[in-house]
Chains A and B, each alone.
Chain A
Amino acid sequence: MSQAKKSKQRKEFNVADLDRKARYVVLFLILSGVFWLLFGTLLALVASIKMHLPDWLGSAGWLTFGRVRPLHLNVMVYGWASLTGAGVSLWMLSRLLKVPIPLRGYIIVAGAIWNIALLVGSIQILAGFSRGIEWLEFPVSTMVVIVLCVIIMARSVIVMVMTRSVKQLYVSVWYIIAAFVWFPLLGLVSSFPIFDTPTVQAGMNWWYAHNALGLWFTPIGLAAAYYFIPKVLGRPIYSYGLSLLGFWGLALFYNWNGFHHLIGSPLPTWFITISIAASVMMIIPVVVVAVNHHMTVVGSFSAVTYSPTLRFVVFAAMSYTFVSLQGSMQALRSVNEVIHFTHFVIAHAHIGMYAFVTMMLFGACYYILPRITLREWHSKKLIKWHFWLTAIGIIIYAGALQGIGIFQGFSMNDPDVPFTDTVTMTIPYLIARSVSGILMSAGHLIFVWLLIRMVFQPGEQPETPLIWEKIRKEFAL
């Protein structure tokens, strides 16, 4: 009886209402993320330039490579990608389930605490209090605070799923639910003080680091791809069955992948062999997802010229396919023997976190922000610049470092080549890396400028919708 009453009372929300309610929460999370993107970009440039000018800014302890580089990683991962990713996920979920984001006040408080935790953690790393574990350099206290903030958001996710006013759960919803369950688990387990022996700690390290990418950022990124591609094109996703296969393939195989970072370590061989096999198995969900996305877009590729969202999202989806297949190859012992401990792996990680995750989030921002602020992007031209600077930047980055990484690997395996030669041979490519870093930084600055124009409205605002107009004409919607 009361059940029936309740469902009667439940209001039917249209997207305008949903976006209005999501406005401050999502805007806050995205803007916080973009702040950390800028800070992380600065750290990235410093770290990159230090690779070929090692004495530069070397006099102060807190500016040394060993502190700047880990902080760059942590700020990008837990600041930019996580905060923005959480905002994008909550927004998508609200629209897909047709309920307003619940617990909005709590989420904003959690977001604020998260930002403070990042600030404290950054100071701690710069002051030298790093945990010394890659991807987990923030002290445990900072990490636990961040995980608790994600748990609050996860609570909101679960409430949305429970109170949804649609029957079917779209594929993006599966990925987002999974991400918000998996990440708190990863974060808490990695914070337990039970991984103190060196070998076990290394195992935990790569289990965590690889899964943070694969079970937190990848699901968010794929959820965005599954949402925005059909949304922008107005075409259905190619196949529900393939979506299902892709999701469960990721859920089944990804968790085992991390130990392929530890080939040749004292971990038992069977452990690493299973990890390598699982890494190769990732080919299945990756190819399935790639086919699903490609077949959805195919025939409408011209839309990427008009929709900045689609341009970023398609680039990101292609990068996902590329980086994942590359990862499966890299896991094999014979390949790993060459590329391990070279710049190849650094570039691989950046294709994952930048060409896939970051570009996907940029694409999502271009779609979401006009809708939650009800304002228009300031300049189409600048959006194009943003895309090409970042896209060309990451391509140069990956090309230069992966190219030289292979030669570096063969030289390091050759006992006749002195170690110093394997370092000096990379210098021109490290300079290319800094140049590509400058391109990407310029792209970020353009993005931030567009964001400031939209949100804080200095100067004149455009009078007509810049982007929709074009799409509308082209597709005669």
Chain B
Amino acid sequence: MADERYFGDREDYQSMEELHRAAMEKEEQIPEEGNERGPWWMYVIIVLTLAFGFFYMGRYLGEISDRPHVLFAEPEPAELEEEEFDPMQVGSRIYTRLCQSCHQQDGSGVEGAFPPLDGSDWVIGDPQRPVNIVLHGFEGEIARNGVTYNALMPGFSRLVSDEDVAAVVTYIRNSFGNEAPEVAPEEVAEIRDATQDRTSPWTEDELNEFIEER
């Protein structure tokens, strides 16, 4: 009996199409909806969600204006911590950014082109030399330990402050096995002042002459 509601007697129908049509003609409507109230915890969720929504708007609404990104009505004043100036740390960062690509991470340089910094007498000697070279660059041949180096190093005087030059020179004077006293920003400022008219990189002779004059 129940079977007949859908397909009737199988023999009565010739084709699949008729089977489907017969089934469809007997298809039932969607039953009318119930009207249950739903479980209690659903209402708890609704109330909690509403409560959260109002709380969130009240707490984080900020200033209603068309000003961009006014985070909250009264931003807490940020307390700036006086960070102690560590020349080795700052110098290391500058070295990575500006020097490392030529002089290498371990300061060994590249044979024939970029002179090594480790064990260099200029680096650990009179700080005026490295400071000058960082500020204005260096060009021309220079021979060290039987190897001749020749490449152009640009000057960085426009890119780095006195503090940064002092830091990076201090860094190379105390890394790669070197050991030499720190360089103060004031010394850099003095040299920058004294050489402010310089527009081309130093050569070995010019630099030696400059140091002897002073």
Which residues of A does B touch, CB under 8 Å? 14-16, 19, 96, 170-171, 199, 227, 230-231, 234-243, 265-270, 273-274, 276-278, 280-281, 283-284, 287-288, 291-292, 295, 333, 370-371, 374-376, 461-465, 468, 472, 476-477
Closest Cβ–Cβ distance, residue A52 to chain B (whole Å): 30
Of B2, B32, B54, B64, which contacts A477 at CB under 8 A?
A: B2
- Cβ–Cβ contact A461 & B16, under 8 A: yes
Also in contact, A269 and B31, with CB within 8 A (given A287-B46, A291-B38): no
Identity of the chain A residue whose Cβ is nearest the Cβ of B17 in the assembled complex: A374
- C-alpha spacing A15/B25, complex, angstroms: 7
- Cβ–Cβ contact A269 & B62, under 8 A: yes
- Cβ–Cβ contact A268 & B31, under 8 A: no
Q: Which of A96, A231, A268 has the largest number of chain B CB atoms within 10 A?
A: A268
Identity of the chain A residue whose Cβ is nearest the Cβ of B35 in the assembled complex: A240
- C-alpha spacing A231/B30, complex, angstroms: 5
- Cβ–Cβ contact A14 & B56, under 8 A: no
- C-alpha spacing A288/B57, complex, angstroms: 23
Is B151 part of the contact surface with A, judged by Cβ < 8 Å? no
Of A14, A236, A270, A370, which contacts B32 at CB under 8 A?
A: A236
- Cβ–Cβ contact B61 & A269, under 8 A: yes
Of A170, A231, A240, A273, which contacts B60 at CB under 8 A?
A: A273
Identity of the chain B residue whose Cβ is nearest the Cβ of A170 in the assembled complex: B30
Size of the chain B interface, CB-CB below 8 angstroms: 48
- Cβ–Cβ contact A16 & B24, under 8 A: yes
- Cβ–Cβ contact A236 & B33, under 8 A: yes
- Cβ–Cβ contact A375 & B20, under 8 A: yes
Please name 19 further chain A to chain B contacts, defined as beta carbons within 8 Å, in addition to the given A239-B37, A295-B36, A374-B21, sorted by A numbering: A170-B33, A236-B30, A237-B34, A239-B33, A243-B33, A266-B68, A266-B69, A267-B69, A270-B61, A270-B62, A270-B63, A270-B65, A273-B60, A277-B53, A283-B45, A292-B38, A468-B23, A472-B6, A476-B2
Of B16, B27, B30, which contacts A227 at CB under 8 A?
A: B30
Closest Cβ–Cβ distance, residue B29 to chain A (whole Å): 9
Q: Is the interface of A mostly helix, strand, loop or mixed?
A: helix
- Cβ–Cβ contact A268 & B61, under 8 A: no
By a CB distance below 8 angstroms, the chain B residues around A291 are: 38-39, 42
- Cβ–Cβ contact A287 & B45, under 8 A: yes
Identity of the chain A residue whose Cβ is nearest the Cβ of B27 in the assembled complex: A15
B11-28 residues at the A interface, CB under 8 angstroms: 16-17, 19-21, 23-25, 27-28
- Cβ–Cβ contact A284 & B68, under 8 A: no
Identity of the chain A residue whose Cβ is nearest the Cβ of B36 in the assembled complex: A239
Also in contact, A234 and B16, with CB within 8 A (given A273-B61, A476-B2): no
- C-alpha spacing A287/B3, complex, angstroms: 39
By a CB distance below 8 angstroms, the chain B residues around A269 are: 60-63, 69-72
Identity of the chain A residue whose Cβ is nearest the Cβ of B10 in the assembled complex: A464
- Cβ–Cβ contact B61 & A281, under 8 A: no
- Cβ–Cβ contact A374 & B16, under 8 A: yes
Is B66 part of the contact surface with A, judged by Cβ < 8 Å? yes
Task: Please provide the 4 A-B residue pairs with the shortest distance between their CB atoms, ordered closest to farther.
Answer: A269-B62, A266-B68, A236-B31, A240-B33
Identity of the chain A residue whose Cβ is nearest the Cβ of B55 in the assembled complex: A277
Of B16, B25, B28, B34, which contacts A240 at CB under 8 A?
A: B34
Also in contact, A376 and B30, with CB within 8 A (given A269-B62, A280-B49): no
Identity of the chain B residue whose Cβ is nearest the Cβ of A171 in the assembled complex: B33
28 pairs from A and B in contact (CB 8 Å cutoff)? A16-B25, A227-B30, A238-B33, A238-B36, A238-B38, A239-B33, A239-B35, A241-B35, A241-B37, A268-B68, A269-B69, A270-B64, A273-B56, A273-B57, A273-B60, A273-B61, A273-B62, A276-B60, A280-B53, A283-B45, A283-B49, A287-B46, A292-B38, A463-B16, A465-B16, A465-B19, A468-B7, A477-B2
